[in-house]
């Protein structure tokens, strides 16, 4: 079977369900914000910074990612960051986004929750108006910090309760199992928030089961290590739990040594509800469409498989009603056109 062509892939309506806003900070914007805020950066140039983006594992990346995020100081900085990402989405045929942000990365530097929410929400509203991109924001807890810190963060976010739909869990996975955050996830769900969590990126398959059983997540972020446990694989297929897989991230962080080794198409063919996402595109060499193309080029992707992946992204999103049905109808129409 032939691979899908690039322009059709671009046109398919797609949702992005695993994207860290701080991970969209391109080196050029990082330098511009550092200058605007009078902050020195430990690199001489954009090129020098970009050439530091060689990672042996997740922690190598996180060290640079938190350092980079320190240039985000003002409401306008969060606005500029978010709007630049949405502009990329518009070009790539992304019709709906569910971005994460990490409030603790910023409150730890005395950048208030209000500053973060105001900038991000204003950009999401402008993205809807300019490009019709719908969004659901996800507040993510840093798992290398304590559960008490996450509880305080949830409290600080309560004035914006109407403006985010879910909580997430990210940062250093190994040694920080989902069970560490059971109480704060209970509290979040009691507030009517949905739950998602990074699990099975570098950490073991057991963390995926913990996220499902203890945190009651409705999606698993990454989840690719599920392959180590055939019983878990069958459970994910039976329950149709979405996995938000990030192929370029996984190869840049050495979860897989090469894209040709990635298991995403095997999981798709087994009937798992997998989706393609970009995670931290400014650091991993590509936005959403680039991730689809990298998978297609390394593993092959027919039109049917591409449509299934795009369909999975829409049906795994927090959209419902007309907004979901309209995107799906457009997708099916394109799927049938010659």
b/e per residue, 145-157, with b = 16+ CB within 10 A? bebebbbebbebb
* Catalytic residue from among 201, 269, 304, 332: 201
| 86 closest CA partner among 78, 221, 27 | 78
Q: How far apart are CA 272 and CA 238, in angstroms?
A: 8
Nearer to Zn ion, 220 or 268 (CB): 220
Distance of closest approach, residue 109 Cβ to ligand ADE, in angstroms = 17
275 binds, among ligand ADE, Zn ion, none (CB under 5 to 8 A by kind): none
| 188 closest CA partner among 150, 134, 221 | 150
Question: Taking a C-beta distance cutoff of 8 angstroms, is the pair 134, 173 a contact?
Answer: no
- In the structure encoding, which two tokens stand for residue 33, read together? 């914000």
Nearer to Zn ion, 145 or 307 (CB): 145
Question: Taking a C-beta distance cutoff of 8 angstroms, is the pair 283, 64 a contact?
Answer: yes
Using rule CB under 6 A, residue 105 touches ligand ADE: no
Binding mask 243-262 for ligand ADE (x = CB under 6 A): ------x-------------
Binding mask 279-318 for ligand ADE (x = CB under 6 A): xx--------------------------------------
Helix, strand or coil for residue 192?
Answer: coil
222 known member of a binding site: no
Using rule CB under 5 A, residue 279 touches Zn ion: yes
The residue from 9, 13, 19, 23 that contacts ligand ADE (CB under 6 A) is 23
Distance of closest approach, residue 166 Cβ to ligand ADE, in angstroms = 16
Q: Which residues contact 52 (CB under 8 A, 6 or more apart)?
A: 43, 64
Q: How far apart are CA 202 and CA 222, in angstroms?
A: 9
By Cβ distance, which residue is nearest to ligand ADE? Answer: 170
Q: Where are the alpha helices (DSSP H) in the chain?
A: 6-11, 27-36, 46-51, 58-69, 75-92, 103-107, 113-131, 147-157, 182-190, 205-213, 230-239, 247-252, 264-269, 281-284, 288-299, 303-315, 321-336
238 known member of a binding site: no
Size of the site for Zn ion (CB under 5 A): 1
- In the structure encoding, which two tokens stand for residue 111, read together? 């950048």
| Total count of residues recorded for the chain | 338
Distance of closest approach, residue 66 Cβ to ligand ADE, in angstroms = 9
Q: How far apart are CA 13 and CA 280, in angstroms?
A: 21
The residue from 14, 20, 180, 273 that contacts ligand ADE (CB under 6 A) is 20
Distance of closest approach, residue 222 Cβ to Zn ion, in angstroms = 7
- In the structure encoding, which two tokens stand for residue 279, read together? 């995670």
Using rule CB under 5 A, residue 16 touches Zn ion: no
Is residue 148 part of the annotated active site? The answer reads: no
Using rule CB under 6 A, residue 201 touches ligand ADE: yes
- The DSSP letter of residue 52 is T
Nearer to ligand ADE, 276 or 307 (CB): 276
20 known member of a binding site: yes
Segment 125 to 144, residues that bind ligand ADE, using CB under 6 A: none
The residue from 4, 68, 170, 208 that contacts ligand ADE (CB under 6 A) is 170
Using rule CB under 6 A, residue 273 touches ligand ADE: no
Q: How far is CA 174 from the centre of its chain?
A: 19
Binding residues for Zn(2+): 18, 20, 198, 279
Residues near ligand ADE (CB under 6 A): 20, 23, 58, 65, 170-171, 198, 201, 249, 279-280
Q: Which residues are annotated as a binding site for substrate?
A: 280
The set of catalytic residues is: 201
Binding site for Zn ion (CB under 5 A): 279
């Amino acid at each position: 079977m032939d691979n899908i062509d690039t322009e059709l892939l671009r046109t398919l309506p797609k949702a992005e369900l695993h994207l860290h806003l701080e991970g969209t900070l391109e080196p050029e914007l990082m330098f511009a914000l550092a200058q605007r805020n009078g902050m020195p950066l430990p690199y001489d140039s954009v090129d020098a910074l970009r050439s530091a983006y060689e990672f042996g594992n997740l922690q190598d990346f996180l060290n640079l990612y938190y350092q980079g995020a320190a240039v985000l100081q003002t409401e306008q900085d969060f606005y500029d960051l978010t709007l630049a990402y949405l502009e990329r989405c518009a070009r790539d045929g992304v019709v709906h986004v569910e971005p994460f942000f990490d409030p603790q990365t910023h409150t730890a530097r005395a950048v208030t929750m209000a500053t973060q929410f105001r900038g991000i929400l204003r950009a999401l509203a402008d993205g809807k108006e300019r490009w019709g991109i719908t969004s659901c924001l996800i507040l993510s807890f840093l798992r290398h910090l304590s559960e008490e810190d996450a509880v305080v963060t949830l409290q600080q976010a309560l004035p914006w309760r109407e403006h985010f739909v879910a909580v997430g869990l990210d940062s250093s996975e190994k040694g920080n199992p989902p069970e560490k955050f059971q109480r704060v996830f209970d509290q979040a769900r009691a507030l009517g928030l949905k739950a998602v969590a990074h699990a099975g990126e570098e950490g073991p398959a057991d963390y995926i089961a913990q996220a499902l059983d203890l945190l009651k997540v409705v999606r698993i972020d990454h989840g690719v290590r599920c392959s180590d446990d055939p019983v878990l694989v069958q459970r994910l297929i039976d329950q149709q739990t979405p996995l938000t897989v990030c192929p370029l991230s996984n190869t840049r962080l050495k979860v897989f040594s090469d894209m040709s080794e990635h298991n995403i198409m095997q999981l798709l063919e087994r009937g798992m509800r997998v989706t393609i996402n970009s995670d931290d595109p400014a650091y991993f060499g590509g936005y959403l469409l680039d991730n689809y193309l990298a998978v297609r080029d390394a593993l092959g992707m027919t039109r049917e498989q591409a449509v299934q992946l795009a369909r999975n992204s829409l049906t795994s999103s927090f959209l419902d009603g007309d907004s979901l049905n309209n995107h799906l109808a457009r997708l099916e129409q394109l799927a049938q056109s010659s």
